[in-house]
Amino acid sequence: MKAVVGETVVAEAASEAVVSIEGNAYFPPDSVAAGALRNSPTPYTCPWKGRAQYHDVVVGESVLRDAAWSYPNIKESAATRVGRDFSGYVAFDPRQVRIEN
């Protein structure tokens, strides 16, 4: 699977490595292109996953604000619910980043 902005691939991983949660594709941290993410100060806490870290997606001179997010330290119950630890996995806002199979 790929996360794409314009023609630039910002993340790419085998489908079995990507975790689907609530309709979002979460890519393993090592599948995200170097320099593609910049931490955002936007706060959010999911009741069942824990505290989120939002990221701006940077492609060339373009910055897509809060176009990605991850959960650096998920709740243990979240890993149980999903069936695996997805700490640090990155999801992308489908309004800003295209997800391709």
The tens place of each residue's pLDDT in the chain, 101 residues long, gives: 999 999 999 999 999 999 999 999 999 999 999 999 999 999 999 999 999 999 999 999 999 999 999 999 999 999 999 999 999 999 999 999 999 99
Assigned fold of 2-100: 2.170.150
Predicted pLDDT of residue 14: 98
Q: In this structure, what token pair is assigned to residue 62?
A: 């373009």
Model's pTM, two decimal places?
0.96
Q: Which of 74, 45, 70 is nearest to 56 (CA)?
A: 70
Residue located via tokens 């090592």: 30
Which pLDDT score, from 0 to 100, does residue 34 have? 97
Rg of the chain over Cα atoms, rounded to whole angstroms, equals 13
Q: Quick one: pLDDT at residue 68?
A: 98
